[in-house]
Amino acid sequence: MDIIVCIKRVPEVAEIDLQVDQTGKSIKEEGLVFGVNDWDNYAVEEAVRIKEKHGGKVTAITVGSAESEEVIRRALALGADEAVMVTDPQADGSDAYAIAKVLAAAIKEIPYDIILTGVLADDDGCAQVGVTLAELLGIPHATLVTAIEIEEKQVKIKRELEGGMEEELVVATPALFTIQSGINEPRYVSIMGIRKVAKKEVATRDLGTLGLSPNQVGPAGSFTTVERIFPPPVGEGAQILEGSSDEVATKVMDVFQKGGVI
């Protein structure tokens, strides 16, 4: 079972007061800590578990700057066998569609049975790269996958639906699955584990080696562009209604009437 897992280097911003940079189209990255996208961690772990159970090979791939080598080596330390890093400044500013084009061009030269990606990325929350990649490769896909069971030439999966429900599907391979958090518990990567893969070869690609031209990626090859980003507007705050149940109900009706709801 040959598996490709796509990962992304993103800033860790959960507890950071973000600021918009001078372009108005991105955030200030100075002082931010970067790491593997959270959902991609689960995808790597699931890929390694499948390999350990069924044999095969795991190839990690990323598209980004030279700094993305740190997340690729983390994937190797987690158990990936090979790694591919696509880096080219002409791809800067690519949207999800353009990134999927780059990934598709890189993946076409790699044997695979299944491709795993995270459901979405921590930084943009777009959730489009995985499904777009599957479409470009012409293979079936399933999103929000919470369980994977390998069968002969097909995969039985469970995927998350709204309202706490799940759907069970059987998908023929080759196929792509976007992995939901909670599907597993990613293993701990020790410093020693990272040191062991520090000198392991990472294959590098650029647009030229992939047969892509600059106008196929970046802003020119993207369907969407960021006009500006900004903090959400501050609301007026909540109004606390006090009193008995009847008094509160009367006040609520009064609010609805004044607001034109009823």
Q: Look at residue 46 in the predicted model and tell me its pLDDT.
A: 98
| Overall size of the chain counted in residues | 262
For residue 230, being part of any structural domain is answered with no
Paired sense of beta strands 203-205 and 82-86, if any:
parallel
Q: How far apart are CA 34 and CA 112, in angstroms?
A: 29
Q: Look at residue 255 in the predicted model and tell me its pLDDT.
A: 87
For residue 250, being part of any structural domain is answered with no
pTM score, whole prediction: 0.86
Q: What CATH number corresponds to the domain at position 106? A: 3.40.50.620
Residue 155: phi and psi, rounded to 5, are -130, 130
For residue 247, being part of any structural domain is answered with no
- Contact assessment for residue 141 and residue 175, using Cβ atoms and an 8 Å cutoff: yes
Provide the domain limits for residue 127. Answer: 2-221
Bridge partners (DSSP) of residue 86 are 63, 205
The overall average pLDDT reported for the chain is 93
Structural domains in the chain (count):
1
For residue 237, being part of any structural domain is answered with no
Structure confidence by residue, pLDDT tens digits, 115-171: 999 999 988 889 999 999 999 999 999 999 999 999 888 999 999 998 889 999 999
